[in-house]
Amino acid sequence: MYFERLALLNWRNIEDTELTFGKRFNVFWGGNAQGKSNLLEAIFFLGRGFSPRGNRNEDFIRWGKTQAYLGATIRDGELFFKKEVKIGLEARDWRLDNRKEKKRDCVVGYFPDDLEIISGNPFKRRQFLDEAISFISPTYRLLLKTYGDILQQRNCLLKQPLNRELLDVYTEKIAEVGSRIVKARLKYLALLSPFFEKYRERIEDKASKVILRYRTSGYAVNGEIEIGDALFKALGDALPLDRERGFTSCGPHRDDLEFIRENRNLRSFASWGEQKTLALALRLAEASVIKSTKGYGVVILLDDVFSDLDEERRRFLLRDVFREEQVFITTTELQWKKLLPEEETRSFYLERGRVIKDA
C-alpha cells in the first residue's frame, strides 16, 4: 500500500497544496517550524483516522479558517481508492470513494511526542498498546468500548448508597471483560517484544536488554490463578477504599507497561537519547507486528529521526529495515540523503507551509 497523491487545504499552516509521492522514500525538508511535521501528521491522520498530536478540530484547521480538507489517492496492489476528510470546527466528514465511510489504513508513525510512551504517565503506554492492538484486532476496539461503559457505570454505583447486588454484577463484568483485555495485551506484548529487542539492539549503543513488562494494578497474572478470578478478587478487596474514593482502582484501565533494564524502570531513568531510540524501536516493532500478522506492508512515517543517528544506524534503518515500504521522513538537513537510492527518492522542500521545491 502507498500514498500516491495528497491534497491539503487549510491543514495547520498549509494553505493549499497537492503533492505526488514516490512509492519508496519521500523526504520533507526545510528549516524549523515550516510545516514538515504538519505534512507528516496529515498523512497519519488520513491513514489511521486520528492524530498523534492532539484531537481538537480547531487545532487542525489553519488559524482564521473554519474548515480543513485532506484527500489522498492510496494504491493497494491493483486497487486504488480515494480517501478524504473534511474537518469543520464541530465535525469530521470521512469519505471513501465518495461514500460516507471511515477506513483505517496501515500507517505507523514515529513522532517526537512518542518519547512520552517511555517516560510519560501510564495512560500514554496503555494508549500505545490499545491503539496498536485495535489496529490488528477490531474486536479489541469493541472490547475497550464495552469495558469503558461498564467501568463508568460501576464508578457511578460506587458513589451511590451501597447496592451490593448490583455492584457485584458490575464487578463480575469488569473482571470478565477486563481479563480479556489483559490477555490481549499480554498476547500482543509477546508478539512485539522480539521485534522490539531486535531493533533496540541495532539502534541503541547499549548491549543490555530492555524487557517489556506488563504491570497490573494489584492483581496477579502469573498463570497460577485465572486472570478474571484474580481481578475479581482484587476488585472485592479494594471495594471499601474504592467506595471512599468513588472510582475503581484496579483493572486494565490502571495497568502499565514497564521498560526494564537491569532491574530498573526506564520511565524514571532513561536519558533523552534512550527515550528516543526506545520509542523508535517500539514503533518499528509495531510496524513489524502488523506485517507479520496481517501479511501486508505498512507506510512508515519518521518525524525528525535522522539528525540524532550516526551513519551506521541511518544505514541500518534505510537499507535493512525498510526494504519495500513507502517511507516519509522529515529532516532539517539533507547530508545523510546520499544513503537513499536516488531513483527511489523524492524530496519536498517546505517554507512557511508551502512546498516550494519538488526535487
Ligand X SMILES: Nc1ncnc2c1ncn2[C@@H]1O[C@H](COP(=O)(O)OP(=O)(O)OP(=O)(O)O)[C@@H](O)[C@H]1O
Interaction site with ligand X (CB under 6 A) = 12-13, 32-38, 59, 61-63, 304, 330, 332
Min CB(96)–ligand X separation in Å: 25
Closest to 69 (Cα-Cα) out of 144, 18, 104: 18
Let me know how many helices (H) and strands (E) the chain has, helices first: 11, 15
CA distance 253 to 250: 7
Cα dist from 142 to 130, 139, 270, 359, whole Å = 11, 5, 34, 44
Q: H or E segment at 69? A: strand 67-76
Min CB(236)–ligand X separation in Å: 48
Closer CB to ligand X, 38 or 179, in the complex: 38
Sign of CA pseudo-dihedral 272, 276, 277, 281? positive
Closer CB to ligand X, 33 or 186, in the complex: 33
Min CB(61)–ligand X separation in Å: 6
Closer CB to ligand X, 51 or 265, in the complex: 51
DSSP 152-167: HHHHHHHHSSP-HHHH
- Which residue stretches of 69-160 are H helix? 115-119, 122-136, 138-159
C-alpha cell at 319: 537499507
Closer CB to ligand X, 104 or 352, in the complex: 352
Three-class secondary structure of residue 52 per DSSP:
coil
305 phi and psi angles, rounded to 5 deg: -100, -40
Closest to 106 (Cα-Cα) out of 268, 324, 330, 263: 324
Closer CB to ligand X, 23 or 354, in the complex: 354
Closest to 132 (Cα-Cα) out of 301, 284, 260, 256: 284
Closer CB to ligand X, 63 or 161, in the complex: 63
Min CB(349)–ligand X separation in Å: 11
Min CB(329)–ligand X separation in Å: 12
Closer CB to ligand X, 112 or 120, in the complex: 112
Min CB(12)–ligand X separation in Å: 4
Min CB(17)–ligand X separation in Å: 13
Min CB(232)–ligand X separation in Å: 46
Judge contact between 106 and 294, C-beta under 8 A: yes
Closer CB to ligand X, 82 or 354, in the complex: 354
